[in-house]
Amino acid sequence: MSVPTAWLASPTEAEPVAALLVEFRDHLGRGWPSDNAFLAGVERLLGDDGTEYLLAASDPDSPPAGVCQLRYRWGLWHAAPDCCLEDLYVRPQARRRGIAAALVSGSLAHARGRGCRRIELDVNRANPAAMALYERFGFSAGAEVPGGENLLMRRGIEGA
């Protein structure tokens, strides 16, 4: 039985990273940004020390079937780097084979290797499979803090 493999994408792997992210965009029913904008953005971010992409495949001889993005920033409340796991996507035909788990496990290892004390992500409540995956790795929705519960909130900025 093959074991899924996840690895840190190199600058020469910008095209497979961007292709998977374009598939994710299409899966979400969005038509923008363009394919070229995704590729240009991935190439730019692969040169940024604060961003990493992980790719994953069902075995070492197969092409990538999953991707995720890791963003790093300094966290004052932990006096260490924080990691944000973003855009985890696995091709539909490759799901339920351990590829997403390999990406989450790889994300935790890379964040730990960079000295992070916290890793965050957001997940849609309408995606119970993803929520179960993250919970299996110890993530929890809305960490309790004195005075209440933390929620990730966001909004777009018009004109930007």
**In the chain, where the domains are located:** 5-149
For domain 5-149, the CATH superfamily is Gcn5-related N-acetyltransferase (GNAT) (3.40.630.30)
Q: What is the pLDDT of residues 79-109, one digit of tens each?
A: 999 999 999 999 999 999 999 999 999 999 9
pLDDT of residue 7: 97
Residues 123 and 134: beta-carbon distance below 8 Å: yes
Label residue 155 by pLDDT band (50, 70, 90): low
> At how many degrees (to 10) do helices 14-27 and 35-46 cross?
130
pLDDT of residue 141: 77
pLDDT of residue 145: 63
Q: What whole-number distance in Å separates Cα of residue 150 and Cα of residue 142? A: 5
What single-letter DSSP state applies at residue 121? -
Q: What is the pLDDT of residues 123-148, one digit of tens each?
A: 888 899 999 999 999 988 766 666 66
